[in-house]
């Protein structure tokens, strides 16, 4: 790696570290549940900044409630307290920048990241997700964004493997943007339908997303099984 590129990476990682620390501080102040981030109180700029920071931190350290925060912010948008478009923008930017930060952390800290990556891969859901999406990098990057834990493994693996960053950024931007739009629209729709029960709308939105992702996995697995059977009987 050239000296100039190394300096750029150091600056990017330093900024990412500062943003993650800021998110952790806000998270602790909010009571450690994520809901205090976007409670409809305080300045609007703080609300959108909080969404951005938490989504970014969730991409780097998957202990923050990224989906929960985006669902909560979209529910508040359904109640007229936030702008849905700005919530989507904050979520998409946080996802893409956070994914890139993790990519470069893994790429420049292979000896440190590899043991942690292997530990995360022991999770049964992560193993299932990787197996169903196969080895296609674009599909892994885009599809992994929709599964907490899996996206950490995918993005870190891409960094460790030194997958070309321009390609990674392209697919990460597609995955992060579509994920933010989908998650926000779903939560907004549910929040509008049951406006009197904001907490229930957050739970329902999360459940629908989970069911959707599981259904996609089963469809992909069935398709791959059919392809394997066809190849097995082909002359």
% pLDDT > 90, the chain: 17
| pLDDT average, residue stretch 99-117 | 80
| pLDDT average, residue stretch 161-170 | 89
In the chain, % helix, strand, coil (3-state, to 5) comes to 80, 0, 20
The whole-number pLDDT of residue 129 equals 58
> Which stretches within 84-197 are classed as H helix?
84-108, 110-120, 124-133, 137-144, 150-160, 165-193
Lowest pLDDT segment from 98-112, 126-140, 156-170:
126-140
pTM of the model: 0.70
Q: Which tens digits make up the pLDDT trace of 51-86?
A: 998 899 889 887 887 888 888 888 888 888 889 999
The whole-number pLDDT of residue 35 equals 47
CA distance 152 to 148: 7
The whole-number pLDDT of residue 33 equals 47
What's the pLDDT band for 205 if we cut at 50, 70, 90? low
According to the 3-state scheme, what is the secondary structure of 21-42?
A: HHHHHHHHHCCCCCHHHHCCCC
The whole-number pLDDT of residue 213 equals 62
What's the pLDDT band for 175 if we cut at 50, 70, 90? very high
What's the pLDDT band for 45 if we cut at 50, 70, 90? confident
Is the Cβ–Cβ distance between 184 and 84 less than 8 Å?
A: yes
Q: The tokens of 39 are what? A: 């409670």
Q: The tokens of 170 are what? A: 């392209």
């Amino acid at each position: 790696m050239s000296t100039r590129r190394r300096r750029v990476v150091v600056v990017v990682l330093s900024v990412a570290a500062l943003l993650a620390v800021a998110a952790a501080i806000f998270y602790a102040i909010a009571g450690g549940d994520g809901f205090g981030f976007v409670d409809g109180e305080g300045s609007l700029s703080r609300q959108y900044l909080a969404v951005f920071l938490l989504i970014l931190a969730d991409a780097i350290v998957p202990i923050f409630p990224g989906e929960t925060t985006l669902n909560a912010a979209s529910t508040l948008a359904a109640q007229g307290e936030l702008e849905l478009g700005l919530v989507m923008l904050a979520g998409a930017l946080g996802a893409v920048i956070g994914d890139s930060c993790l990519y470069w952390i893994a790429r420049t800290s292979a000896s440190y990241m590899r043991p942690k990556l292997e530990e995360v891969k022991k999770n049964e859901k992560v193993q299932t997700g990787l197996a169903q999406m196969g080895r296609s990098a674009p599909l892994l990057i885009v599809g992994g964004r929709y599964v907490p834990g899996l996206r950490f493994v995918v993005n870190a693996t891409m960094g460790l493997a030194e997958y070309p960053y321009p390609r990674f950024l392209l697919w990460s931007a597609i995955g992060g943007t579509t994920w933010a739009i989908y998650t926000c629209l779903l939560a907004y729709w549910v929040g509008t339908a049951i406006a009197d029960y904001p907490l229930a709308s957050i739970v329902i939105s999360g459940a629908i997303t989970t069911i959707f992702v599981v259904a996609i996995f089963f469809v992909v697995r069935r398709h791959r099984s059919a392809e394997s059977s066809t190849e097995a009987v082909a002359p």
